[in-house]
């Protein structure tokens, strides 16, 4: 057992070290959050501000601090949700190793195929989580500067949702990666996920402003629910603050208009249901992941003894 | 000497292509065994099956007495493989690369450092340990990849086209070290190559063509069986040419010498004795592996090693 863990540890250490040594991969991983920050600074902040001010009833005004905290919260909830998935997708090392034929060197070593797969998935999880934690800390610093309205529970929910979403992202790319056999396919999927996911989960524009059909369609994407959890956690505090000066009806409209609530076929989805959807999705992905790795293991013709020694 | 690798009726097809079509052979412990064939002949497919990177369709493979079916985790620690392309991480230092690979074989701490120092000394890369692998020259990278394959002291070293792109100095360094390991530790070397000179240094050669074994024996026996020897006669007279023509000895006149192809060395001896009075300067050239390959398969091997 000690040997197995030691070998697994070496593989994990190698994956993490290679990832951070490869500056290009690291920079590409940060492209999505950086793009969102640039978009925010250039014009999204203005759009959010206008949209917020226009949602207010006649005669009501908000302080600059509240407006900045609101737009900042919305921005960082978007960045967090896209980062958790796209960074996981763009930093998968197994596919890269397979394409560079480095993987063969590990496949001939006395480490089981399952341990090998697991080392890639866990290193993907750790590297993604590290970068997302940096993004999280930056978001906390930003909000502390412009206006802090988060409670301890809000921060805890953000951390838990980050963990769940990163697990989801790492599992999805580990599963998809089994079927990727060319550099073109890898770049294609990475680009597609980076660009599409931001739109589909409402990072660039609120889901509520999309057509009814798209609103219902995104309800079938589990990532939508983790996005709404991020939105609620980041924005509950600031919405409560707005509620001190603005009628409750107007706050509800803002809540709905900025995706702090989600309606699936006109039914409001309760927060606990969102957690259930995310956790069930992870369970299903985990089952597929295990099935795929067991299938690979049985195909490898060493199914009798493979577990005895990593 | 016992057989350390035994392959029986091995088959592997890729759709219509019979990559390996029922081959059988044995490799003896401590032997330098060459698997000679053109690209696409089935050499790498066989190696990939032996290393468990590819599933076989049928047949049996035994390594150190264990079948690869069900025993691969016991077999892996005794195998070291150098692939056609380097399999180390270009961004990591040489030291880190070897440390992580050694760790996968349970080699760490002082044992790893001792082994690393030994290999670095013998393969001459002690001054490269801190440098990123990707920044090294092709020859340096190859030496370190060989060290990677030997880091866990395997009993069998598989070299899949290892000298492709190697400079002569590196080739000599690597082969001297491997021969030393063979004599000191009984290391078995299984080599796949399409370079005839590499194959001619082997203890035993198997020639594979289109997935089938077409000839196998020691290089000397293969040369005796399939390659022609040549007599070159210098400073020849017109009279000798006439005698040859009259006696039916087939010869070719090339720049400054006559060239006679003989099937066996005894025939060369007979010609030289019969016409001794006309011959002052001559040489007898033994047939080479490229002649063997050409005569066995009807195909020409690459000539780069010449």
Q: Are A278 and B44 within 8 A, CB to CB?
A: no
Q: Measure A11 CA to nearest chain B CA, in Å.
A: 7
Indicate left, alpha or beta for B87 from its phi (over 0: left) and psi (-120 to 50: alpha). alpha
Nearest CA in chain B to A22: B91
Hey, what long-range contacts does B218-225 have (CB within 8 A, 24 or more apart)?
B219/B289, B222/B289, B222/B292, B223/B286, B223/B287, B223/B288, B223/B289, B223/B291, B223/B292, B224/B264, B224/B287, B225/B292
What residues contact B31, with CB distance under 8 A and at least 6 apart? B1, B4, B188, B189, B202, B203, B204
Cα B208 from Cα B21, distance rounded (Å): 10
Nearest CA in chain B to A111: B104
Cα A145 from Cα A148, distance rounded (Å): 7
Q: Is the pLDDT of residue B52 over 90?
A: no
The candidate with the shortest Cα–Cα distance to A207, out of A256, A247, A243, is: A256
Q: Which of B85, B87, B152 to mutate to test the interface with A (most CBs of A within 10 A)?
A: B87
Q: At CB < 8 Å, which residues of chain A contact B?
A: 3, 6-7, 9-11, 13-14, 17-18, 21-22, 101-102, 104-112, 299-306, 308-309
Say yes or no: B104 contacts chain A, CB-CB below 8 A.
Answer: yes
CATH of the domain at B145: 3.40.50.300
pLDDT at position B299, please? 66
* pLDDT, tens digit (0-9, with 9 covering 90-100), for B63-89: 999 999 989 989 999 999 999 888 899
B256 and B273 in a single domain? The answer is yes
* Helices A45-55/A64-90 angle, 10° precision: 130
The average confidence (pLDDT) of chain A is 86
B8 and B153 in a single domain? The answer is yes
B184 and B262 in a single domain? The answer is no
In chain A, which residues have their Cβ closer than 8 Å to the Cβ of B71? 302, 304-305
Residue B306 lies in a domain: no
For chain B, the domain total comes to: 2
pLDDT at position B261, please? 86
In chain B, which residues have their Cβ closer than 8 Å to the Cβ of A94? none
Cα A36 from Cα A43, distance rounded (Å): 10
Beta-carbon separation of B148 and A22 below 8 A: no
Task: Please tell me which of the candidates B51, B72, B106 has its beta carbon nearest to residue A7.
Answer: B106
B145 and B42 in a single domain? The answer is yes
pTM: 0.84
CATH of the domain at B249: 3.30.70
Q: Are B256 and B234 within 8 A, CB to CB?
A: yes
Size of the A and B interface in Cβ pairs below 8 Å? 99
Beta-carbon separation of A107 and B53 below 8 A: yes
pLDDT at position A305, please? 35
Task: Please tell me which of the candidates A9, A13, A108 has its beta carbon nearest to residue B51.
Answer: A108
* pLDDT, tens digit (0-9, with 9 covering 90-100), for A285-304: 999 999 998 765 444 433 33
In chain B, which residues have their Cβ closer than 8 Å to the Cβ of A22? 91
Residue B297 lies in a domain: no
B178 and B250 in a single domain? The answer is no
In chain A, which residues have their Cβ closer than 8 Å to the Cβ of B57? none
In chain B, which residues have their Cβ closer than 8 Å to the Cβ of A105? 81, 83, 87-88, 101, 148
B157 and B255 in a single domain? The answer is no
Boundary of a domain, candidates B222, B238, B271: B222
Say yes or no: B150 contacts chain A, CB-CB below 8 A.
Answer: no
Task: Please tell me which of the candidates A3, A13, A102 has its beta carbon nearest to residue B89.
Answer: A102
Beta-carbon separation of B55 and A299 below 8 A: yes
Q: Is the pLDDT of residue B58 over 70?
A: yes
Beta-carbon separation of B68 and A102 below 8 A: no
pLDDT at position B127, please? 95
The average confidence (pLDDT) of chain B is 88
B233 and B218 in a single domain? The answer is no
The candidate with the shortest Cα–Cα distance to B38, out of B282, B299, B289, is: B299
* pLDDT, tens digit (0-9, with 9 covering 90-100), for B149-199: 999 999 999 998 876 667 788 888 888 898 999 988 899 999 988 777 778
In chain B, which residues have their Cβ closer than 8 Å to the Cβ of A114? none
Beta-carbon separation of B73 and A302 below 8 A: yes
- Name the percent of chain B lying above pLDDT 90: 48
pLDDT at position A179, please? 87
* pLDDT, tens digit (0-9, with 9 covering 90-100), for B251-304: 988 888 999 988 878 888 999 999 998 898 999 887 777 777 777 877 665 444
Beta-carbon separation of A300 and B79 below 8 A: no
In chain B, which residues have their Cβ closer than 8 Å to the Cβ of A110? 73, 76-77, 104-106
B34 and B161 in a single domain? The answer is yes
Boundary of a domain, candidates B170, B188, B222: B222
Residue B305 lies in a domain: no
Domain assignment of residue B252, given as a range: 228-285
B15 and B37 in a single domain? The answer is yes
B218 and B233 in a single domain? The answer is no
Residue B122 lies in a domain: yes
pLDDT at position B301, please? 56
Say yes or no: B91 contacts chain A, CB-CB below 8 A.
Answer: yes
B211 and B279 in a single domain? The answer is no
Rg of the Cα trace of chain B? 23
Residue B172 lies in a domain: yes
* pLDDT, tens digit (0-9, with 9 covering 90-100), for A17-73: 999 888 777 777 777 788 878 888 788 888 888 888 888 888 888 899 999 999 999
* pLDDT, tens digit (0-9, with 9 covering 90-100), for A207-249: 888 888 888 888 888 888 999 999 999 999 999 999 988 889 9
The candidate with the shortest Cα–Cα distance to B78, out of B92, B62, B97, B93, is: B62
């Amino acid at each position: 057992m000690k040997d197995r863990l030691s070998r697994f540890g070496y593989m994990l250490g190698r994956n993490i070290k290679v990832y951070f040594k490869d500056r290009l991969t690291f920079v590409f991983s940060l492209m999505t959050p950086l793009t969102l920050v640039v978009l925010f600074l250039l014009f999204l902040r203005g759009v959010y501000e206008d949209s917020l001010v226009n949602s207010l009833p006649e005669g009501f005004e908000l302080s600059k601090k509240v407006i900045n905290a609101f737009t900042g919260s919305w921005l960082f909830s978007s960045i967090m949700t896209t980062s958790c998935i796209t960074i996981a997708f763009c930093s998968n090392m197994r596919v890269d190793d397979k394409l560079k034929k480095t993987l063969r060197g590990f496949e001939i070593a006395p480490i089981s195929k399952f341990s090998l797969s697991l080392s890639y998935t866990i290193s993907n999880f750790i590297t993604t989580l590290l970068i997302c934690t940096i993004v999280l800390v930056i978001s906390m610093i930003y909000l502390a500067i412009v206006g802090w309205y988060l409670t301890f529970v809000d921060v805890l929910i953000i951390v838990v949702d980050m963990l769940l979403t990163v697990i989801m992202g790492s599992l999805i790319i580990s599963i998809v990666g089994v079927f990727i056999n060319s550099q073109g396919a890898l770049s294609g999927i990475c680009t597609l996920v980076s660009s599409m996911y931001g739109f589909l989960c409402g990072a660039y524009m609120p889901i509520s402003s999309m057509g009814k059909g798209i609103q219902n369609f995104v309800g079938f994407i589990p990532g939508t629910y983790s996005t709404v959890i991020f939105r609620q956690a980041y924005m509950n505090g600031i919405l409560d603050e707005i509620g001190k000066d603005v009628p409750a009806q107007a706050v509800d409209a803002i809540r709905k208009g900025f995706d702090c609530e989600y309606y699936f076929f006109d039914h409001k989805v309760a927060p606990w249901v969102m957690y259930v959807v995310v956790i069930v999705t992870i369970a299903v992905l985990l089952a597929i992941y295990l099935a795929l790795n067991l299938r690979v293991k049985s195909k490898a013709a060493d199914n009798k003894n493979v577990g005895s020694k990593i | 000497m016992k057989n350390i690798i035994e392959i029986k009726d091995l088959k592997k097809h890729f759709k219509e292509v019979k990559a390996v079509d029922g081959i059988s052979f044995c490799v003896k412990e401590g032997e330098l065994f060459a698997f000679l064939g053109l690209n696409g002949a089935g050499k790498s497919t066989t190696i990939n099956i032996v290393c468990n990177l590819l599933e076989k369709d049928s047949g049996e493979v035994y390594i150190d007495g264990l079948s690869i079916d069900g025993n691969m985790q016991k077999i892996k620690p005794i195998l070291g493989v150098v692939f056609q392309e380097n399999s180390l991480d270009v961004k990591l230092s040489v030291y880190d690369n070897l440390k992580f690979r050694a760790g996968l074989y349970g080699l760490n701490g002082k044992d790893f450092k001792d082994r690393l120092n030994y290999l670095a000394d013998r393969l001459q890369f002690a001054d490269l340990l801190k440098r990123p692998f990707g920044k090294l020259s092709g020859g340096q990278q190859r030496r370190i990849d060989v060290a990677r394959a030997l880091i866990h002291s395997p009993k069998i070293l598989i070299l899949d086209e290892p000298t492709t792109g190697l400079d002569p100095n590196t080739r000599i360094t690597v082969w001297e070290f491997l021969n030393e390991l063979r004599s000191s530790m009984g290391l078995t070397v299984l080599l796949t190559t399409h370079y005839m000179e590499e194959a001619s240094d082997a203890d035993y050669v198997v020639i594979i063509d289109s997935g089938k074994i077409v000839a196998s024996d020691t290089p000397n026996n293969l040369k005796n069986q399939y390659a022609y020897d040549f007599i070159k006669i210098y400073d020849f007279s017109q009279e000798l040419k006439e005698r040859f023509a009259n006696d039916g000895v087939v010869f070719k006149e090339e720049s400054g010498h006559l060239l006679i192809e003989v099937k066996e060395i005894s025939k060369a001896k007979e010609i030289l004795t019969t016409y001794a009075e006309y011959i002052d300067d001559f040489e007898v050239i033994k047939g080479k592996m490229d002649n063997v390959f050409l005569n066995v398969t009807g195909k020409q091997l690459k000539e780069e090693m010449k």
